[in-house]
Amino acid sequence: MIGPVECRVEELVTPDRTRIAIHRMGAPEHTPVLLVPGTFTNHTFWMGTRGVGFARDLVARGYEAVVLDPRGHGRSQRPARADAWDFDDWARQDVPTALRELRRSGRTGYIVGHSAGGAAVLSALAAEPELRAHVRGVVVVATPVPWLQPWRGIAARVIRLVSRRLRRFPARLLRLGPEDELAGVMSQWMTWNLDGHWRGDDGTDYEAGMRTLELPILIVAGAGDRLFAPPIAVRGLYDLVGSPDKTFVLCGKDTTFSEDFNHVSILVGKAARQEVWPVILGWIERT
């Protein structure tokens, strides 16, 4: 277990005047690593709740860990009734704002995103090429191509309908995580799932932008992730991204790991600390 690490919480304001929080750990002069959580969770996914978390391991390795709470999550602003925030707001407002804050120090760093957090990162870099010059490398873990998920069709329509009717997706009730999800985030993702295309509210073609990425990219999948990001859907993302320097890692028993990691265990738990974290940290250190 890593000893106590001071955490500094800072508030940033996005171009659309939304307040978002970042949690900073480690020396500010060290290379920063921006960590973006996925749906149904917040900064605790990366920082842990019992003194153990990937962010703390980064600090022990000599990096500054910067954990983003996307809008509607953690210590970031919650939506008012009139707010119609969706996935685009994460990708076009929140992630770029966090990246530009790190850029103010003149340092370039890395980005690591889990699940929808990885999709938000890639969408941000796809839509705004100027952001790429300030990133050394990108890691996405358990991030699927939306239309390659196994429940495409009626299930996606039901999820979209429920999210719109309830004005949120009831993840806590379903025991999927500590945060209910924004209705717009779930609705937009399900639309991509059904349409078979990754397009922003303003018509931006995220797929086309991802094909132009040249940054080093590590894409990690869990062999036991059968519902949210099955290996075939994550491999589809690897095939979509155009970087000439990209690596795909499947974490399962058939690829020398001790277990077939699922959507959460791939980053949380003792086995992840011993087997998956070193893969990510080793790739960052080599890049």
Question: What single string gives the DSSP state of each residue in the chain?
Answer: ------EEEEEEE-TTS-EEEEEEES-TTSPEEEEE--TT--THHHH-SSS--HHHHHHHTT-EEEEEE-TTSTTSPPPPTT---BHHHIIIIIHHHHHHHHHTTT--EEEEEETHHHHHHHHHHHH-GGGGGGEEEEEEES---GGGSTTTTHHHHHHHHHHHHHTEE-TTTTTS-SSPEEHHHHHHHHHHHHHT--B-TT--BHHHHHHT--S-EEEEEETT--SSS-HHHHHHHHHH---SSEEEEEESGGGT-SS---TTTTTSSHHIIIIIHHHHHHHHHH-
Tell me what pLDDT residue 106 has: 83
Compute the Cα dihedral for 201, 161, 230, 37 and give only its sign: positive
List 73's β-bridge partners, or say none: none
Tell the residue number behind the tokens 């954990």, with chain if given: 67
Per DSSP, the residues of 198-254 read -B-TT--BHHHHHHT--S-EEEEEETT--SSS-HHHHHHHHHH---SSEEEEEESGG
- Tell me if 94 sits within 8 A of 20, measured CB to CB: yes
pLDDT at 2 over 80: no
Tell me what pLDDT residue 112 has: 98
- Tell me if 253 sits within 8 A of 223, measured CB to CB: yes
**φ, ψ for residue 9 (rounded to 5)?**
-100, 125
Tell me what pLDDT residue 252 has: 98
Percent of the chain beyond pLDDT 70? 99
Tell me what pLDDT residue 4 has: 65
List 86's β-bridge partners, or say none: 184
Instruction: Kindly report the pTM of this predicted structure.
Output: 0.96
Percent of the chain beyond pLDDT 90? 94
Contact residues for 44 (Cβ-Cβ < 8 A; gap 6+)? 53, 74, 178
Give the CATH architecture of domain 7-150+202-286.
3-Layer(aba) Sandwich (3.40)
- Tell me if 36 sits within 8 A of 114, measured CB to CB: yes
pLDDT at 275 over 50: yes
pLDDT at 245 over 60: yes
Region 229-238: mean pLDDT is 98
Region 122-126: mean pLDDT is 98
Query: Is residue 1 very low, low, confident or very high in pLDDT (cuts 50, 70, 90)?
Result: very low
Tell me the pLDDT of the chain averaged across its residues. 96
Contact residues for 277 (Cβ-Cβ < 8 A; gap 6+)? 54, 57, 267
